[in-house]
Amino acid sequence: MAVENLKDEVHIWFAATDTPIDTAWTGTLLSMLSSEEKARFERFALPQDAHRYLQAHALLRTTLSRYHDIPPSEWCFRLTPLGRPEIANGGGPPLRFNLTHTEGLVGCVVSLKSDCGIDAERVCERAYVMKIAQRMFNTRDHREMLQLTGESLLRRFYSEWTLREAFVKAKGVGLRYPTRKIAFSTPDNGSVQAKFDHTVSDRAAEWHFRLLRPTPGHIAAIALRQSHAEPKIVQRWTQVSL
Ligand SMILES: CC(C)(COP(=O)(O)OP(=O)(O)OC[C@H]1O[C@@H](n2cnc3c(N)ncnc32)[C@H](O)[C@@H]1OP(=O)(O)O)[C@@H](O)C(=O)NCCC(=O)NCCS
């Protein structure tokens, strides 16, 4: 993948994490990670969480190396004051990225210059769906969700959730954003229009959103801060390896 393509494209790389990885492969992936990442890997209580973390970070590093001549193990990251990881290596193209991991799937979005965020979730039963919707989504969304049940309710919930999560991750603000102040309309063609309440400073014209269905069991969304024409979204699957 040439970095030039990112001038008018945004790339998303997904990897499935359902297949257990053996000791040799674990060692290979660990060799790419920084000492901080290795320490976090060691701290996970559950092996499946540790392995998903490992695969996500190996995916991130191998993905960035597709766009710039730096080996996966040599990428350095720093955190913004609000905790968003960014590239700390100097001198390369102005790559931006965001990472997500969920049961069975890891994903990474890459753009040039533009703030970008990604969130993926496994579509599964979850406690307090309507309570979360009432607290985090706007009143109209919550009211519409009251009419839904079963699979339609879950699909709506995870679509609304991943779109908001991708947005707060693109902004890098985490839990601080009043996510009830965004309304999304999602026509069936996968494009998404956002409407922001007048009390927040964000403007819909500055943002692009897209809902994705990377697998039948997952919903994902990306958010991209870019005021010019809608970029082409290129989605790829890969296996995490050196
Ligand atoms: C990290 C956070 C931003 C997302 O967490 P999450 O959905 O559980 O996890 P994801 O797997 O999608 O993303 C985690 C990755 O996001 C990145 N990340 C961490 N903090 C971030 C921030 N402030 N901004 C952007 N990205 C961040 C990291 O790469 C992290 O992976 P890592 O910990 O392995 O390095 C979370 O702390 C958060 O604050 N979420 C907001 C919750 C919320 O209010 N959602 C509203 C939805 S309606």
Shared domain for 233 and 160, answered yes or no, is no
* Residue 198 reports pLDDT greater than 90: yes
What value does the mean pLDDT take over residues 34-51?
95
- 140 and 83 within one domain: no
Residue 15 lies in a domain: yes
Q: Are residues 38 and 83 in the same domain?
A: yes
CA 234 – CA 12 distance, rounded (Å): 6
Confirm whether 99 is domain-assigned. no
**Same domain, yes or no, for 41 and 143?**
no
Q: Considering only the C-alpha atoms of the chain, give the largest distance between any 2 of them, rounded to a whole number of Å.
A: 54
Ligand 1 center to residue 174 CA distance, Å? 6
Same domain, 69 and 85: yes
- Do 215 and 189 lie in one domain? The reply is yes
Nearest atom in ligand 1 to 121's CA:
12
Full residue range of the structural domain in which residue 177 is found = 115-225
Residue 174 has pLDDT above 90, yes or no: no
Exposure string for 105-134, b = 16+ CB within 10 A, e = fewer? bbbbbbbbebbbbbbbbebeeeeebeeebb
Mutate which of 99, 126, 132 for ligand 1? The one with the most ligand atoms within 8 Å of its CB, which is 99
Taking only the tens place, the pLDDT of each residue in 18-35 is: 887 888 889 999 999 999
Residues 145 and 177 grouped into a single domain:
yes
Domains identified in the chain, total number: 2
Q: Which element (helix H / strand E) includes 37?
A: helix 35-43
Residue 114's nearest CA partner among 98, 128, 132, 138 is: 98
- How does residue 229 score in pLDDT terms, banded at 50, 70 and 90? confident
pLDDT at 90 over 80: yes
Using 50, 70 and 90 to split pLDDT, how confident is the model at 17?
Answer: very high
144 φ, ψ (degrees, to nearest 5):
-65, -35
Residue nearest to atom 36 of ligand 1 (CA): 174
Token readout for 151 is 């699979």
Give me the pLDDT at residue 190, please: 67
What percent of the chain shows pLDDT beyond 90? Answer: 83
**pLDDT the model gives residue 45:** 96
Enumerate residues 6+ apart whose C-beta is below 8 A from 79: 85, 86
Phi-psi region of 172 (alpha: psi -120 to 50; beta: other; left: phi over 0): left
Residue for token pair 């999304």: 184
pLDDT band of 189, cuts 50, 70, 90: low
Per DSSP, what are the bridge partners of residue 194? Answer: 184
Which of 112, 84, 99, 94 lies closest to 15, judged by CA?
99
Is 214 found in the same domain as 231?
no
Spatial distance between the Cα atoms of 171 and 221, rounded to a whole number of angstroms: 14
pLDDT at 191: 76
Mutate to test the pocket of ligand 1, among 168, 173, 212, 224 (most ligand atoms within 8 A of CB): 168
- Residue found under tokens 């009830």: 180
pTM for this predicted structure:
0.96
Which strand (E) or helix (H) includes residue 225?
A: strand 218-225
CATH of the domain at 131: 3.90.470.20
Q: Which of 158, 129, 163, 145 is nearest to 217 (CA)?
A: 158
53 plus 133 within the same structural domain: no
Specify whether 241 is located in the same domain as 217: no
